[in-house]
Structure 1
Amino acid sequence: MSLPNPPDVPTTVHSHITDAIRAPSLIRLSDNVVLLRFETLKIYAALGAVRALLADGTIRPGDTLVDSSSGIYALALAMVCHRYDLRCHIIASTTVTPTIRAQLEILGATVDQMPAEHDLRLDQNRRVERVRQLLRANPGMHWMRQYHDPVHYLGYAELADLVRAALPDTRLAVVSSVGTGASSGGLVQPLRAHDPATPLVGIQPFGSVSFGSERFQDPEAIIAGIGSAIPFDNVRHNLYDQIHWLTFRYAMAGAIGLMRDHAVFAGLSTGAAYLAAAWTARRDPGRTHLVVGADTGHRYVERVFARYREALDPDTLKPMEIDSLDGLAPPWSVMHWRRHPRAQDS
């Protein structure tokens, strides 16, 4: 019996950890589904933004950068600040784990963490108000505004080049959580420069304002990183072709299913995207669907992976197809968004 060739041994010695972890692992999950698995996707946003701001003189080494985050952007920004001799101040969501907080503090970041709060809408609003208080007291700080500043789109052009090099002459579709909008939008725009028809499939939790599901409540939802409790300017609705709304239980089923089927330990947004991509790929077999896996599963161990026995079987799940937001309903709805500019125009 012949054994497969051993994997290539990396030959690059990186000068900083941000270079080592930014490139994803590309893992084929099926004939037309490929996972882009990151340790932390937001390295692209933070690197691209900070480099642009340094280049145009908006910030200088020694300045303090401040922003609000639910976890992975905070860690990415702290790493980039470490690289470029910048100070970092994070207004952390109540959902930021002790593991992430410890890393931030060791990297030299100042961390203000919001008190425990079941209503994550209140958590996001409190974080923004805390940033404003800091800026009033320290006008020399630079607010990164990851939710609103388009500078966070810039770094993903490099990711698009990497994808095209790895999958040459391939018709692609992108399946990603919406979140701040920068990663999904920043990836699909340069891909559309080569194929304008490249679909963008966005993932939302119920309760997010970004695509009109704020009237719903999902008591178990971990909204951070997938949806939004406040409007984000970086969410450009006219980039999205299709939107899936999933409950926590369905996203959990996807995350556990991804681990069982492919041995991939990834976060809740990746699980939701995996579930949606499997359904979408069956209906569009001519395109290779890129599932954006924004982070690993470590911060979801207790809430998701420790409860694996409760997980639904993803093979038994399917969405309700709707024509308008009036038909939106849990646990899983899907709608052809058709690049409408705003939720109320759908």
Structure 2
Amino acid sequence: MTTVDAAFQEITQAQLLPRIIRLGDNLYGASFSLMKLVPARHILLKAVERGLLGPDTEIVETTSGTFGLALAMQAALLGRRLTLVSDPVLDVNLRRRLLDLGTRVEVCEQPMPVGGYQESRLRRLAEIQAENPDTFCPEQYTNPDNPASYAIVADHLAATVGPVDCVIGPVGSGGSMCGTVGALRSARPDVTAVGVDTHRSVLFGHQDGSRTLRGLGNSLMPANLDHTVFDEVHWCTPAEAFAATRRLHREHALFQGPTSGAGYLVGRWWAARHPDARCVVMLPDEGYRYQETVYDDSWLAAQGHDVHGLPQAPVEATDPTLPTAAWSRYPWGRRSYEDATGQARPQRAVAAGAAR
């Protein structure tokens, strides 16, 4: 590579690190164009380095959102075939982009009685791998390269913001929060981790159910989710997340998705309660996929979502297994799932990436 060549970056490398934006006296937003590029790029490049992803190896994964897009971008740059298994929630515009990047997309039309669409997708993924032995699955929910990839984000935060006291962020695979906080705690063990989930997600004790808010939460338990990382957990409703997303745009001109809105809702409250703490909220992706939903007043009205007001504080939950009807908070206390909920951690762990 010449010196001139070395001065330029691939698009996935150029978009890896978030923009750091001040959102308050002690609150900073880590605003990603596409956060899932961090694990997708790291996992695939490590697979090439280890000989797991040869020139003819097909990449296969199950996803309904941004991890699939990140894989498609990196697969195109690597010149590798990619098959994604998804479900009907995959939006039309994202599917068009995946196809334009050369990705083969399969959609599972029926959910399984247990595990829903994620289980259907996992079963179809297993069939594809059985049909073609020369495949590589990134397995974002079990692959330790997922959380490990966020060390560069932790370094970026420390270099840009300075000593970080608290990280607030949505939880899906567990990779971004567990990886970023784990790396920061290698230097400062007292860094606080605040996880943001949504109701009827199994991650922190709720029973699985239908969820409108996408991009966080899960129907199956990811192996990469280390519950002992988290000091507290919040659950947000879709209406609250949508309203916070619109406020983030209106007050800070940050055009993000509803997962970011959920993080912002919790982050601004937590930072206000701890004015001496330097806080960072993770804002995972931009809002272009949501222009016809979250950013459309007529759609919001049709769905019954009021985005003109936000609760001032969460409901204090006394039992993480009992959902409330509104934004709620539970002091998790860096405990295991078993210790915090009084229940066994669900046995069925996600075998491959399924939520985003």
Deviation for aligned residue 1:85: 2.4
- Identify which of 87, 104, 109 aligns with 2:81: 87
Relative to structure 1, the CA distance from residue 91 to residue 344 in structure 2 (aligned partners, 3 Å threshold; closer, same or farther) is farther
The answer on whether the counterparts of 1:269 and 1:293 sit within 8 Å (CA) in structure 2 is yes
SS at match of 2:216: coil
The answer on whether the counterparts of 1:120 and 1:229 sit within 8 Å (CA) in structure 2 is no
Query: Percent identity, aligned pairs only?
Result: 28
The answer on whether the counterparts of 1:275 and 1:314 sit within 8 Å (CA) in structure 2 is no
> Which residue does the alignment assign to 1:5?
none
**For structure 2, which runs of at least 5 residues remain unmatched after alignment?**
1-5, 342-356
> Which residue does the alignment assign to 2:179?
186
Is the counterpart of residue 156 in structure 1 residue 150 in structure 2?
yes
Superposition pairs for residues 135-214 of structure 1, below 5 Å? 135-168=129-162, 170-214=163-207
> Which residue does the alignment assign to 1:102?
96
- Between the aligned partners of 1:160 and 1:254, the Cα distance in structure 2 is 25
Deviation for aligned residue 1:334: 0.2
> Which residue does the alignment assign to 2:70?
76
- Between the aligned partners of 1:313 and 1:59, the Cα distance in structure 2 is 49
- Identify which of 118, 124, 128 aligns with 2:118: 124
Deviation for aligned residue 1:214: 1.6
- Between the aligned partners of 1:228 and 1:288, the Cα distance in structure 2 is 29
- Identify which of 273, 278, 281 aligns with 1:283: 273
Deviation for aligned residue 1:302: 2.5
**Runs of 4+, deviation exceeding 4 Å:** 215-218
Is the counterpart of residue 333 in structure 1 residue 323 in structure 2?
no
Superposition pairs for residues 225-240 of structure 1, below 5 Å? 225-240=215-230
- Identify which of 304, 316, 319 aligns with 1:321: 316
Query: TM-score by structure 1 length?
Result: 0.89
The answer on whether the counterparts of 1:71 and 1:93 sit within 8 Å (CA) in structure 2 is no
- Between the aligned partners of 1:293 and 1:265, the Cα distance in structure 2 is 10
> Which residue does the alignment assign to 2:17?
23
> Which residue does the alignment assign to 1:6?
none
Q: Please give the root-mean-square deviation of Cα atoms over the aligned residues, in Å.
A: 2.2
The answer on whether the counterparts of 2:58 and 2:80 sit within 8 Å (CA) in structure 1 is yes
> Which residue does the alignment assign to 2:61?
67
Relative to structure 1, the CA distance from residue 23 to residue 332 in structure 2 (aligned partners, 3 Å threshold; closer, same or farther) is same
SS at match of 1:65: strand
- Between the aligned partners of 2:29 and 2:183, the Cα distance in structure 1 is 19
> Which residue does the alignment assign to 1:42?
36
Deviation for aligned residue 1:294: 0.8
- Between the aligned partners of 1:74 and 1:268, the Cα distance in structure 2 is 18
Relative to structure 1, the CA distance from residue 271 to residue 314 in structure 2 (aligned partners, 3 Å threshold; closer, same or farther) is farther
- Between the aligned partners of 1:113 and 1:288, the Cα distance in structure 2 is 43
Deviation for aligned residue 1:120: 11
Amino acid at match of 1:332: W
Deviation for aligned residue 1:331: 1.1
Relative to structure 1, the CA distance from residue 327 to residue 88 in structure 2 (aligned partners, 3 Å threshold; closer, same or farther) is closer
The answer on whether the counterparts of 1:212 and 1:343 sit within 8 Å (CA) in structure 2 is no
**After superposition, what is the alpha-carbon deviation per residue over 1:186-231, rounded to whole angstroms, capped at 9, x for unaligned?**
111111111111111111110101111126655xx23x32000111
The answer on whether the counterparts of 2:244 and 2:310 sit within 8 Å (CA) in structure 1 is no
The answer on whether the counterparts of 1:257 and 1:314 sit within 8 Å (CA) in structure 2 is no
The answer on whether the counterparts of 1:205 and 1:247 sit within 8 Å (CA) in structure 2 is yes
The answer on whether the counterparts of 2:170 and 2:177 sit within 8 Å (CA) in structure 1 is yes
